Amino acid sequence: MEKNPYYFIKYIVWSWCKVRLLSWWWAVRYGGRKNIPKEMIMGQLQKSMARMNQNLGEALRHIPENLTEMERKEFLDVLREAATLEKEIEKQE
pLDDT digits (tens, 9 = 90+) for 53-87: 888 888 888 888 888 889 889 988 988 898 888 88
Q: Does this model's pTM top 0.85? A: no
Of the chain, the percentage scoring pLDDT greater than 90 comes to 20
Distance CA 83, CA 56 (A): 10
Report which residue type is found at 74.
E
pLDDT at 1 > cutoff 80: no
Q: Give me the pLDDT at residue 65, please.
A: 84
What are the tens digits of pLDDT across the range 11-67? 889 989 998 999 999 999 999 989 999 888 888 888 888 888 888 888 888 888 888
- Answer for the pair 83, 57: CB distance below 8 angstroms, yes or no: no
- Considering only CA atoms, which of 86, 78, 28, 30 is closest in space to residue 57? 78
- Tell which residue, 48, 30, 56, has the closest CA to residue 90: 48
Contact between residue 45 and residue 89 where contact means Cβ atoms under 8 Å apart: yes
